[in-house]
Amino acid sequence: MINFMLVIIRRDLLLVARRPAELINPLVFFVLVVALFPLGVSPEASVLSQAAAGVIWVSAMLATLLSLELLFKLDYDDGSLEQLLLAPYPAWSLVLAKVIAHWLVSGLPLILLSPLIANLLFLPTQAIPTLMLSLLLGTPTLSLFGAIGAALVTGVRGGGILLTLLILPLYVPVIIFGAAAVVAASQGMAVDGYMALLAAMLVFALMITPWAAGAALKL
């Protein structure tokens, strides 16, 4: 089963390498949202530093949503999803492998790019490690929760809006605690509680979402 998952991850990464726009688009969207924020609010450093945590987290969520609709859709359209589900392995292993590949393409680059974005928004330097750690715990959770919505709208024409409506309520707690952790770090307060909650949500998502998304795909 592990070999099966590794093959799926390698396959999805190769497909992304052949279609680099799928990798570039979320990153460009993430940077554009953050870059346009000072134009619409204020270029003052004091204002941007206070809003930096929320802006970065909301931008990361929107960038994740941008690529979620294609998580299973392309495989469904060419018939390979049906063949993968007929393989002698549980459906949750397929879902987990595809979520890992999705996070490597959409979540990990955002984490690596976050220190630069934090400097653009004048986030205090001491909060940058907390920002990266919170994204490291939170972005996999976003991908896992998003897999349920992506599985439910697979095969539905124009399912992007429906996908957003389905999974936004699940994203709200992750954004709240992720942004709160960064704000607390910028003010010199303890962040252990926020990180524990983010880790707990990640564990919960790992326990529930692969099975739920696998069942949705079979339906």
Per-residue pLDDT of the chain (219 residues; tens, 9 = 90+): 788 888 888 988 888 888 777 667 788 888 888 888 888 777 787 788 888 888 899 888 888 888 787 788 878 878 788 888 887 888 888 899 999 998 998 889 889 988 988 888 888 888 999 999 999 999 999 999 999 988 888 877 766 677 778 888 889 999 999 999 999 998 888 899 999 999 999 999 999 999 998 888 888
pLDDT value at position 203? 95
pLDDT value at position 132? 93
Predicted TM-score of the model (pTM): 0.88
**For 141-160, what is each residue's pLDDT tens digit?**
999 999 998 888 887 776 66
pLDDT value at position 156? 72
Long-range contacts of 79-85 (CB under 8 A, 24+ apart): 81/154, 81/217, 84/8, 85/217, 85/218
pLDDT value at position 159? 63
| Contact by Cβ (8 Å): 152, 166 | yes
CA angle in degrees (0–180, nearest 5) for 53-55-59:
120
Nearest to 209 by CA among 115, 109, 75, 103: 103
Cα separation, 88 vs 157, whole angstroms: 29
Write out the residue range of the structural domain in which residue 88 sits: 2-218
CB within 8 Å of 181: residues ≥ 6 apart:
130, 134, 191, 194, 195, 198
pLDDT value at position 160? 67
Cα separation, 203 vs 152, whole angstroms: 22
Number of domains in the chain: 1
pLDDT value at position 158? 64
Nearest to 166 by CA among 143, 184, 146: 146
